[in-house]
Amino acid sequence: MPNPVWVVIPTYNEAENIEGIVRAAAAELARVAPDAHRILIVDDNSPDGTGQIADRLAAAHPQVEVLHRATKTGLGHAYLAGFAQALRGEAEIVIEMDADFSHDPRYLGPLLDAAGEADLVLGSRYVDGGGVEDWGLLRRLISRGGCFYARTILGVPIHDLTGGFKCIHRRVLEAISLETIRAEGYVFQIEVTYRALLAGFRVTEIPIVFRDRSVGSSKMSARIAAEAMWAVPFLRRRRGRRG
């Protein structure tokens, strides 16, 4: 199997970050998964030209490829398209990673190490040794409150359900009926983890320190946060019906 590890990076208006993050991820992967990785950028036709920069990177680095989507339909859809491409490309392990340096590529090694013992590894801000840098009190409260809310409603022992730095075995992606996931934002992250737990997979958290983006603008919105509030109880109900 030539490239079992795929790092999927969704981008929307990340022109200032994309080159740096791809270079940093490539350097780390060359160390921890030499000759066995690909980096897939999933760009939603960013108006700032991120897609063109990504194409240049792909031309210069054989292990980099770009999936261009015509319109921005949300992070969840971008990830689903990226997962499908990685699976077609014979990925054994797929890693989700943001483009804005909030997810430090130095954790790629620890994520892969932990994947030796688990089916799904979560980079977690809310376990011992993890944390968040540069966030104000309000954002910290919303994030922690959201995780606590989801954990309580769903009744699962996971501390960071909304994080987007995760390492997923192919068998999980194949088992959790990706085609029926509709969620866009934080709920997408919660739902992937929740479905993996329901399917009986081993899910583990490793500590990460999350840094706020230093350049570019956030795509997170009140609408996406609200989606998380109302959608989580629906996830729970689905488990109820399954018995």
Ligand X SMILES: Nc1nc2c(ncn2[C@@H]2O[C@H](COP(=O)(O)OP(=O)(O)OP(=O)(O)O)[C@@H](O)[C@H]2O)c(=O)[nH]1
Q: Give the interface with ligand X as residue ranges (CB under 6 A).
A: 10-12, 14, 42-44, 72, 74-75, 78, 98-100, 102, 212-213, 218-220
Q: Judged by CB under 5 A, does residue 189 bind Mg ion?
A: no
> SS3 of 7, please?
strand
Residue 156 CB, shortest distance to ligand X, in Å, is 21
* Residue 87 parent element (H or E): helix 75-88
**Could you tell which of ligand X, Mg ion, none binds residue 44, using a CB distance below 5 to 8 A set by kind?**
ligand X
Of the candidates 83, 106, 84, the one whose C-alpha atom is nearest the C-alpha of residue 95 is 83
**Could you tell which of Mg ion, ligand X, none binds residue 219, using a CB distance below 5 to 8 A set by kind?**
ligand X
**Could you tell which of ligand X, Mg ion, none binds residue 178, using a CB distance below 5 to 8 A set by kind?**
none
The residue of the chain with the least Cβ separation from ligand X equals 218
Tokens matching residue 139: 């954002």
Nearer to Mg ion, 135 or 204 (CB): 135
CA 94/CA 117 separation, integer angstroms = 15
70 to 99, contacts with Mg ion by CB under 5 A? 98
**Could you tell which of ligand X, Mg ion, none binds residue 75, using a CB distance below 5 to 8 A set by kind?**
ligand X
Residue 213 CB, shortest distance to Mg ion, in Å, is 5
Give DSSP secondary structure letters for 205-233: EEE-EEE--SSS-----HHHHHHHHHHHH
Cβ–Cβ under 8 Å, residues 167 and 95 = yes
Based on the number of CB atoms within 10 Å of its own CB, is 20 exposed (0-12), middle (13-18) or buried (19 or more)? middle
Tokens matching residue 241: 């019906």
Residue 102 CB, shortest distance to ligand X, in Å, is 5
Residue 102 CB, shortest distance to Mg ion, in Å, is 4
Q: Judged by CB under 5 A, does residue 102 bind Mg ion?
A: yes
CA 149/CA 47 separation, integer angstroms = 35
Stretch that binds Mg ion, among 1-9, 77-85, 158-166, 211-219 (CB under 5 A): 211-219
Residue 76 CB, shortest distance to ligand X, in Å, is 8
Nearer to ligand X, 7 or 118 (CB): 7
Of the candidates 126, 125, 118, the one whose C-alpha atom is nearest the C-alpha of residue 203 is 118
**Could you tell which of ligand X, Mg ion, none binds residue 78, using a CB distance below 5 to 8 A set by kind?**
ligand X
Q: Judged by CB under 5 A, does residue 100 bind Mg ion?
A: yes
Q: Judged by CB under 5 A, does residue 14 bind Mg ion?
A: no
**CA distances (Å), 164 to each of 20, 160, 189, in order?**
19, 9, 6
